[in-house]
Every structure is written in structure tokens, then in C-alpha cells.
Chain A
């Protein structure tokens, strides 16, 4: 119970830091009224905005107001669109969830088995292929991979549409691109975790007791290798978000990744701020879930961290 409380408090603290930093960035980058409303806002609009967001008050009070707005889901108005920023973002969200979800499934569905097989065949051809593939997947930047895919599958062979989200098969290339980098790291990590678990004395122990090799791997090696792999999955979510930004832009996929790029380019900052806070909240919640799962899977983790104090 103490463990859950500690981790939740930490997550809440991280979120507070993010909100505070956004506030600092917002306040230091000029008059937020102009930033949020746009340069063509009338003086009355600016005055009303100042009163609404309490900008005529001292900084600590402003901060309280700001947090109040954020907590009630008021992120300001998109000046390109005229609608609340949250509505604009929410509209694009399902597309990103669809793409990132499929990418995530591909990453885990191909990366983990590849890592497991590589570890079980250590030093053989399969292992080398997986390791080489993983290093390549890590080195080839996603935007270049996207361009290669477009060049071959769309331009040369006309198999798939080069962008957009109109045809159902249009999701294939972006999902592959988003999955590639993470697949490499998860395969490498799973391989290392499996090798580590295989080396443990208890494996020799169960084999000596007459448990068959496949059963020993399934019931003893894999569950132990799963624990470190889980942490990696938490990190993967971060790379999925970064991947979505690039992939959606290359493939003209109408999600929030592309939205943040167009919003930054046109300085539609209410939308940028909304996406940043949304991503931060998602990431913090995801990390919290991973931490809690970790504690549930591995009781040792529930003990207070032994820091180098």
C-alpha cells in the first residue's frame, strides 16, 4: 500500500513540475494573451483574456489561476481554428491511438519473440540476424525508413498509398515505421534479459530435477526475463510518441503528432500546450502503471529504494 502511495505521489509531483515548467515557458516567451490569441487580437480581446486568466494579478496568483484552468480542462482557444484547443486535439486523437496502438502491437509481437528466439539460439545464424537487424533498426532514422518504404512500396511498386488515412491499408507503412526502432531495442533487451535468466542456477536446478527444456524455458526462464523487459516497455511508449510525431508528418496521417508540428510551425500555441500536457500526463500515467505492475510481479521492488545516500 505504501508502495502504491509513494509511486502515485511521485507521478503527481512529476506532473506538477511539467505544468510549472509550461507556465514558466508561457510567461517568459512574451505576453501569453498574444501568444494564445494571436498577433491580430484586438486590445479588448487581450484585456478580457488578461482578466480571464488573471494576468493583471501578481505571479503566484497567476500561477494558481493557470493551474485552475488546466485542471478544469480549459487550455485556451486555437487561433487557427477558433474552437477550444482541447476539442481540436480530441478530434485527432483517435487516429493517433489507432496508429500508435498498431505500432505498439507490432513492436511487441515481433520484437519479443525475436529476442527470445535469439537468446535460445545464442551464437547461431538466427541470433546474428536478430542482433544485426536490431542494430540496424536502431541506427536507421525513422524518417529515412519512411522515405525508403514510400520509395519502394508506393513509388516503385504501387502497392500502398504514400500517405493520408483514407484507404484502410494506408496504416501499414506508418505502423511499420513507428514499430521499427522500438522493435530493435525490445528485441535486444529481451535477448539480454533471457540470456541473463538462462544463466541462473535455478535453471540448472529444474533441469536436474527432470523438467524438460521447453517446460523449463516456459515456466522458469521466461517469467523471470519478463520483469526487466516490462521496464523497457515503459520506455517504449516514449519512443512511440516521438515516432508518431515524425511518422504522421511523413505519411500525412491526421493525428496529434502532425497537429503539433503544424501548430508549432504556425505558432498556434494553445494547441501545442494542450498536446504537451496531454502527452506528459499519458507518459506519467504509463510509467506509473509500469511501476505498479513491476511491484506486483516482483515483490522485491516494493521495498524502499536503496539509494546511494
Chain B
């Protein structure tokens, strides 16, 4: 076992912190994230001349920025997790279907993969939200559509090569149905690669969600995401920088930590990349 580089340890530490926040944001938050305190509006963070009542300051309605930050982290991470799960499931399923049936279905899936790869996803997301209107379930599905084509391509390619192995021929010969073959025998063999793909793609899903929320087309109030916090914090840059800067820092550190870990895991699994 090689020693872990310190930067990777820090990245894991940060991710652990985020996971704890997502799990316990209600317990950790000193205030209700929607509670207004009109007498303490735009209070600066404790280290910048404020009081410890609002450790990271308050916003224009006197809502506690620390509590809002915790609630926003929770929403952003959960939406991105749900999105990643949807994208991975959809893409893997389509990839398996293409690999199993071949023929026109295979061509159709690969054509959709190419079309998706040719168009910036934010445009697709904006179109869907524009035509169907915005609601939380639809928004999660839109976020989930992001990156499906990477899973489809991987799942198809690897299923094609795994299918040629002897043990697959063996389980088919003893009468296993296709669903059983793919779920019990093919999937476990390629899950590692799919998980690495999900880890590398996760920061991009977070960025998509926060970007859409930042543009006012994602998470709607009273819910709050890191993107929507940044968005309204923009109006107070002259007198309350902390409303926009703090969620931005959390967001940047999170995407940085996850992509460092993703790259590191990929390099460890594939020594030829070194």
C-alpha cells in the first residue's frame, strides 16, 4: 500500500465534512435557515467584526448565512446525487440494451449518444425547462439526464467484451435469463469503471445544478441551493460580500476535492496513464 498524498487526504477530509453536513444539517444549524431576524440584517461574519450569534454573518433579511449554507449544501449534494444515479442507471440500461440487441436499437442508441455529445448540455436543459416549465421533480430529471451518454458508451463497450468471456457463456448455457445475466454477472464486473465515471462526473453534475439555480431556473425558494445563494448574493456585493463568496468557496472546494479524488482513483486503477 502506497502512502496517500496529503492533498488527497485533505480532499477526503473535506468530502467527509460535506457528507456529515448533508446528514446532520438540521442538527448543526444554529438557526432555522428561513428564520428572519430583521434587526440583524447584513451582519458581517464573526471574524470580520460581527458577533458569534451569526458566525458567518446574515443576509438582507437577517437570515443566518451559516444555517443557509448548510441547508444549501444539503440540497445541492442531494440533487446532484439523485441526478448522478438517474444518469448512471439510464445510461447503463441503454448501453446494455444496445449491447444485447445490437442491430437498429444499437444504432439508435449510439446516434443519440453522438447527438447528445454534440450539443452543450446546458442548452438541452434550458430547452426542457423552457418548454415544460420548472418544478423540482422535472429539474432533478433534467440534472439526471446530464452525462447519460458517457455511461451508455462505457456500459455498451464493456458489456460487449464481457459477453465474450466463458463465465457468461456458462450462465447463459445453464439457462439464466438476460436480465439475470446483466444484473448479476455483467454489472458487478463493470461496476468499478462506472463508479469511477460517476465520481469524475459528479462535480460537473453539481456545477450544472448550481449553474441552473444561479440562473434562476433551478431550485426555487423557499428551498435554497449553493447556486441560488450565489445568485441573490450578487446584489449585495458592495456591502455584504459574504452572502455570495462563502457558498462559492464551498462549491469550489467541493468540486476540487471530488475531482482530485476521481483523478487519483482513475490513475491508481489504470497504471498506463501515469
Contacts and interface: CB of A to CB of B under 8 A. Distances in A.
Given A141-B248, A151-B237, A239-B120, A136 B131 contact: no
Contacts of B241: 151
B126 A264 contact: yes
Contacts of B233: 147
B127 to A, nearest CB: 5
Contact of A280 (B118, B216, B248, B251): B118
Interface in A281-297: 283-284, 287
Contacts of A136: 256
A279 B245 CA distance: 32
Contact of A148 (B120, B123, B245, B256): B245
B217 A261 contact: yes
A108 to B, nearest CB: 19
Given A150-B237, A241-B120, A283-B119, A263 B131 contact: no
A13 B111 CA distance: 8
B123 A250 contact: no
A276 B127 contact: yes
B42 to A, nearest CB: 15
A174 B45 CA distance: 29
A142 B252 CA distance: 10
B128 interface: yes
Choose among B122, B211, B259 the residue with the greatest number of A CB atoms under 10 Å from its CB: B122
Interface in A141-194: 141-144, 147-148, 150-151, 155
Nearest to B258: A139
Q: Which of A13, A29, A136, A287 has the most CB of B within 10 A?
A: A29
A26 B157 CA distance: 33
Interface string B156-194: 010011000000000000000000000000000000000
A22 interface: yes
Contact of B238 (A155, A261, A267, A273): A155
A150 B157 CA distance: 46
Interface size class of A (residues with CB under 8 A): 35 or more
Contacts of B238: 155
Contacts of B121: 242
Contact of B115 (A18, A250, A267): A18
A144 B259 contact: no
B110 to A, nearest CB: 9
Which of B114, B227, B233, B245 has the most chain A CB atoms closer than 10 A to its own CB?
A: B114
Contact of A279 (B119, B129, B227, B230): B119
B132 interface: yes
Say what secondary structure dominates the interface of chain B. helix
B207 interface: yes
Given A245-B122, A280-B119, A308-B161, A155 B131 contact: no
Contacts of A148: 245, 248
Contacts of B245: 147-148, 151
Nearest to B131: A29
B120 A155 contact: no
A308 B110 CA distance: 13
Contacts of A25: 127-128, 131-132
A143 B259 contact: no
B82 interface: no
A239 to B, nearest CB: 7
B36 interface: no
B199 interface: no
Given A144-B230, A264-B129, A269-B130, A139 B115 contact: no
A260 B126 contact: yes
B150 to A, nearest CB: 13
A52 B169 CA distance: 58
A155 B235 CA distance: 12
A120 interface: no
A139 to B, nearest CB: 4
Interface of A: 10, 13-14, 17-18, 21-22, 25-26, 29, 35, 135-136, 138-144, 147-148, 150-151, 155, 238-239, 241-242, 245-246, 249-250, 260-261, 263-265, 267, 269, 272-273, 275-276, 279-280, 283-284, 287, 308
24 contacts: A13-B111, A14-B111, A14-B115, A135-B260, A136-B256, A138-B259, A141-B252, A147-B230, A151-B237, A151-B241, A241-B122, A242-B120, A246-B211, A246-B214, A261-B126, A261-B217, A263-B130, A272-B127, A276-B126, A279-B120, A283-B119, A283-B120, A287-B118, A308-B160
Given A138-B259, A284-B118, 12 more contacts: A18-B115, A18-B119, A143-B230, A144-B251, A147-B245, A151-B244, A239-B120, A242-B122, A245-B122, A246-B215, A250-B234, A279-B123
Closest 10 A-B residue pairs measured CB to CB? A144-B248, A264-B130, A139-B256, A29-B131, A17-B115, A238-B120, A242-B120, A242-B122, A139-B255, A272-B130
